[in-house]
Amino acid sequence: MVKSPLVRRFGLPGAMVAAVALGAAPAVHAGVLSQGVFRMGADVLWSSGDTGAGQVVAIVDEGFGGLDASIAAGEMPPREVLTMRSFDARHGLDGRNRLGLPTEHGTRMAEIVHDVAPDARLVLVNYNTVAEFALAAEWVTAQGIPVVSHSNSFLDGPFDGSGPAAGAVDRAAAGGVLWVNSSGNFAMRHWSGTAPAGTPVPVGITTVGGTWIQLHLSWRDPSASASFTVEHRGPDGTWTAVAASGPSGPVSAAVAAFPAADDGAYRAVVRQDAGTPQLLELVSGSANLEGAVADGSVLTPGDARGSLTVGAVPWQSGTLAPYSSRGPTEDGRAKPDISGPTYVTANPGYPGTAGTSAATAHVAGAAVLLRARREAAGLPAAAGDIRQALVAGALDLGPAGPDTGYGAGMVRLDLSAPRLEARYVPSRSVLRVRATDDGTLDAVEVRVPGARTRVLRRAVVNLRLRPARATRVTVVARDLAGNRTTRVVRIRGAR
């Protein structure tokens, strides 16, 4: 029982891999492995030989800049085993993000999928516009690719599953694709409310110099109209309009985008100009909004019925990230459906890759491994079967309900609790504890009444204990996926 070379090499602090898993764990690839791999318990499937061989997964994104550097670093497979398809007519596979800037986002996502399912064939697909996104979804479906990882949201509503991006995802799902989509990072960047004619509503924008201010305002009734101005407060405290919304998107929406100045404060002043009073939804692309409304902050296509929508939980904390978008959707459905680990390092050049994006790539990778396992076991492995298995296996993290951000909980592939032996040897006054796990053991806790609980990052523990009175010692072994086993050891007193 030694500290795993995986753990040492890949900096998984405080974790151990039991001998069982160590012996069987394949040498997966040359790169660094995301901590989320072990948090989910993907190593359990690896040890049964399910590393994604024979599986295909598409990473759909705005762009795949930096791909060659990632390949050179051993974080992505060589180009000859990748499939690539660009629907971005202007920029090709490198793509651009929604601000028109070069982006490596898709490469970061593909690296995570590759860490989880190292032997799966990766298909990199990019788009820029909603129309191109729909073409990409159609192509993936026509290719018969069973799992898609898509970590992006469109900022124009509606967010009730009826918009064009949601429609594209629903058609892919109807065509047999398990479409895994981020819920979005908009819990602190989404405001909703009314601004009846003649009553403009100011919404503060939290900026640091240089961040982009990108705002999208949406409403449901196309015969109504609304708009906003962006105002800047100068050193003398007066507000000056610096930008005004223009029309955007295929639905009722208005948009403005520009980089923030280094000084002063910004606010958006939202107003409804005509029509019956509408619920207005203001979404900010990168800066947080003061008075943000977390409820209803799942954008689109995370709002699609056909999407397995993913919230973000930092892999060490077990608590929803404050930015992770929450339901319900505008039409009252619960979203997200599940959570995934985030704030991971899948490539040492990019430590702390965060957001619902990273969480989504982990869940997609998990779907690939489950599909491989189920096929190998002769079990049904259609999109619905995989989705159901993921939801059923998730680790409950909090109350369920339409407005929770967790969905079913943290994705979990390791479903078995650690094996735990705990025995007291009176002749030596020693408590002997031995824990093993098919996945990655996290810690062994020893609780002695009246003493501080000891948390040991070791699988084998010999503790000297000589209680004066009869004592019940509680020993708990936890694995990283959140399973635990408890044993109670009764010790007679020394006197």
Residues binding Ca ion (CB under 5 A)? 31-32, 75, 111, 115, 346, 414, 416, 437, 439, 479, 483
Best CA proximity match to 364, nearest among 283, 440, 307, 279: 307
Helices H, strands E: what count in the chain? 10, 25
Rounded CA-CA distance 429/492 in Å is: 11
Would you call the peptide bond into 26 cis, given omega within 30 degrees of 0 as the criterion? no
Min dist CB 479 to Ca ion, Å, is: 4
Q: How far is the CB of 430 from Ca ion (least distance, A)?
A: 26
Distance CA 284, CA 216 (A): 6
SS3 for 16-39 is: EECHHHHHHCCCCCCCCCCHHHHH
Measured from the CB of residue 470, what is the shortest distance to Ca ion in angstroms? 32
Query: Of the candidates 31, 42, 30, 33, which has an alpha carbon nearest to the alpha carbon of residue 11?
Result: 33
- Nearest partner of 267 among 250, 248, 284, 247, judged by Cα: 284
* Owner of token pair 């059923």: 392
Contact at 8 Å (CB) between 463 and 454? yes
- In the bound state with Ca ion, the residue whose beta carbon lies nearer, of 31 and 163, is 31
> Omega into 336 within 30° of 0, i.e. cis?
yes
Torsion over CA: 148, 152, 156, 160 (sign): positive
The nearer residue to Ca ion, 85 or 484, going by C-beta atoms, is 484
Q: Is the dihedral of CA 279, 285, 287, 293 positive or negative?
A: positive
Q: Which residues pair with 16 in a beta bridge?
A: 441
Q: Least distance in Å: CB of 46 to Ca ion?
A: 13
User: Judged by CB, which is closer to Ca ion: 115, or 281?
Assistant: 115
At closest approach, how far in Å is the CB of 344 from Ca ion?
Answer: 9
Residues 6+ apart with CB under 8 A from 162: 331
Smallest gap from residue 393 Cβ to Ca ion (A): 12
Nearer to Ca ion, 67 or 294 (CB): 67
Smallest distance from Ca ion to CB 38, Å: 11
248 residue type, one letter: S
Q: How far is the CB of 358 from Ca ion (least distance, A)?
A: 12
- Cα separation, 446 vs 452, whole angstroms: 9
> What's the N-to-C CA distance of the chain in angstroms?
36
We find the least distance from the C-beta atom of residue 93 to Ca ion, in angstroms, to be: 20
Based on CB atoms, which residue is closest to Ca ion, 124 or 217?
124
- CB-wise, 119 or 479, nearer to Ca ion? 479
Give the shortest CB-250-to-Ca ion separation in angstroms.
Answer: 37
Rounded-to-integer distance, Cα 287 and Cα 134, Å: 28
- Tell the smallest beta-carbon distance from residue 125 to Ca ion (Å): 20
Strand partners, 440: 17
Contact 365, 59 (CB under 8 A): no
Determine how many CB atoms are found less than 10 A away from the CB of residue 237: 8
- Smallest distance, Ca ion to C-beta of residue 119, A: 14
Please say whether the beta carbons of 327 and 296 come within 8 A: yes
Task: State the nearest-atom distance from the C-beta of 420 to Ca ion, in Å.
Answer: 11
Around Cβ 17, how many Cβ atoms within 10 Å?
A: 28
Handedness of CA 340, 342, 348, 350 (dihedral sign): positive
Of the two residues 57 and 169, which places its CB atom closer to Ca ion in the complex? 57
Q: Which is nearer to Ca ion, 124 or 187 (CB)?
A: 124
Query: What secondary structure does DSSP assign to 213-265, as a single string?
Result: EEEEEE-S-TTSEEEEEEEEE-TTS-EEEEEE-EE-SSSSEEEEEEEPPSSSE
- CB nearer Ca ion, residue 187 or residue 346: 346
